[in-house]
């Protein structure tokens, strides 16, 4: 079956531009996560959705970052007024339930470069 | 101090070698533990879960020591295809948020 998909795969933005990154989780998956991976580092948690509810946004680095999942399936991560330090790979992951033993399946990521 | 710390690597080993990666975590209440593999410019993929009793999957053996808050991964008979970054991952509990280490890069050469 189809895995997690993300679009665009690559995004180049000028500093100050707004960007929107899309995640299509595996169909029926309840939990959806966004992570940010800087070069040479492991992924870092940004935010978590259970269905349409955003239950944890403690990892969002600033109020320029906003995520939504209005119908409990597709999610969008929006970054306003992008800065160079926002350059990273943004990974989306989904899992079938909220249990801590559930495997998270990652999408291929969106590589964002802010010039 | 980072929540999950790993040997930074890189580890350069010949084919057939045995290599061990170590990882420590700071949150003693952590619930579950994993090793993920990440190939260059690809997404992380689950390699194996880690249990206190130790678990083995073919050439890979993972071990957890809760008292020392220490996790290990042993790879025997290394293959060229094992070349990747290995991420130590901890779930602190609750709803399945994952905390990743920075990763250890492994390069297996002929």
- A106, B45: Cβ pair inside 8 Å? yes
**Looking at the partner chain, which of A31, A44, A106 has a beta carbon nearest the beta carbon of B43?**
A106
Q: Which residues does chain A have within 8 Å of residue B101's beta carbon, measured at their own beta carbons? A: 42
Cα(B16)–Cα(B6) distance, integer angstroms: 23
**Looking at the partner chain, which of B45, B96, B100 has a beta carbon nearest the beta carbon of A98?**
B96
Whole-angstrom CA distances from A16 to A33, A81, A110 are: 25, 4, 18
Torsion A27-A30-A36-A39 (CA) sign: negative
**Within 13 Å and on the Cβ side, how many CA atoms surround B22?**
6
pLDDT tens-digit series, residues A54-86: 999 999 999 999 999 999 999 999 999 999 999
**What pLDDT is stored for residue A1 in this prediction?**
58
**What pLDDT is stored for residue B97 in this prediction?**
84
Given a cut of 70, is residue A99 above it in pLDDT?
no
Q: Which residues does chain A have within 8 Å of residue B94's beta carbon, measured at their own beta carbons? A: 100
> Between residues 8 and 27 of chain B, which touch chain A (CB distance below 8 Å)?
none
Give chain A's mean pLDDT. 94
Burial of A104 (0-12, 13-18, 19+ CB in 10 A): buried
Whole-angstrom CA distances from B42 to A91, B45, B84, B100, B102 are: 10, 9, 10, 16, 15
Cα(B69)–Cα(A29) distance, integer angstroms: 31
Q: How confident is the model over B39-45, as a mean pLDDT?
A: 95
Cα(B85)–Cα(B10) distance, integer angstroms: 9
Q: Smallest CA–CA separation between A110 and chain B, in Å?
A: 10
- A44, B97: Cβ pair inside 8 Å? no
């Amino acid at each position: 079956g189809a895995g997690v998909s993300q679009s665009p795969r690559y995004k180049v933005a000028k500093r100050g531009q707004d960007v929107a990154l899309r995640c299509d989780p595996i169909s029926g998956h309840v939990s959806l996560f966004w992570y940010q991976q800087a070069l040479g580092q492991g992924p870092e948690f940004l935010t978590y959705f259970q269905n349409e509810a955003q239950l944890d946004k403690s990892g969002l680095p600033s109020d320029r970052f906003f995520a939504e999942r209005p119908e409990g399936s597709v999610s969008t991560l929006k970054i306003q007024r992008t800065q160079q330090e926002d350059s990273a790979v943004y990974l989306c992951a989904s899992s079938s339930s909220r249990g801590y033993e559930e495997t998270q399946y990652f999408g291929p990521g969106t590589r964002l470069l802010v010039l | 101090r980072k929540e999950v710390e790993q040997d930074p690597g890189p580890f350069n080993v010949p084919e057939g070698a045995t290599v061990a990666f170590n990882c420590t975590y700071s949150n003693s209440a952590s619930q579950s533990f994993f090793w993920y593999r990440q190939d260059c410019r690809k997404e992380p993929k689950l390699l194996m879960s880690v249990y206190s009793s130790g678990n083995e999957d073919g050439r890979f053996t993972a071990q957890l020591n809760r008292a020392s808050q220490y996790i290990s991964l042993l790879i025997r008979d290394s293959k060229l295809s094992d070349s990747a970054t290995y991420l130590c991952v901890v779930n602190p509990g609750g709803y399945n948020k994952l905390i990743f280490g920075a990763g250890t890069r492994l390069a297996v050469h002929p």
